[in-house]
Amino acid sequence: MSGAERRLVVEHWLLSATADRVQARQEWKTDGVALLRCGGIFGAVRITAAAVSISEPQESSAYLLQALLGGPVLVDQTTLRYYLLVGSTTGLREQCEQGRDDAEFKGSGHYLGVPALGATTPARRSYWCLESGCVGDLVVAKVSQLVTTGRYRLAGRQFYG
């Protein structure tokens, strides 16, 4: 399967998270971001850039690729938050909802601004830090470890200044 064919398949998969595929495609075309519903085909874990402890976007991509063993991650440069696409029924909800704002699970009832496929550079407000390579390619195995490591880093900064 060619890169263009793979991207089209992933696009169709992502569009299954919206009731209006035509509108979502138009949003990708005009705004670069489409609002998609979490809780069906995917959920998301939102983490702060401070929790990742990386300042340069290129460094964050390399770090997250290694830490998460691949899988789709978006970044919102305005809020300095990363969104890791995970299964909507993952056990991460409890870990992320411990009264903290460094990591939050976005599932049913939440929407996510998802950049157009191919938006992989910081030229826009939101882009794919790590683009999805195939249908259902979700970050699962290492998210818990990444959240824990991020919290450890944040606690160390607060303690040591």
What would the pLDDT profile of 130-157 be if each residue is shown by its tens digit?
A: 887 666 666 665 666 676 676 666 666 5
pTM over 0.95: no
**CA R_g for the chain:** 15
- Nearest-angstrom CA–CA distance, 128 and 116: 8
Tens of pLDDT along 46-93?
A: 888 777 665 565 667 777 777 776 778 898 988 888 898 887 766 555
Out of 1-10, 37-46, 64-73, 106-115, least confident range: 64-73
Residue 126 neighbours by CB under 8 Å, 6+ apart: 32, 33, 74, 75, 76, 77, 113, 114, 115, 119
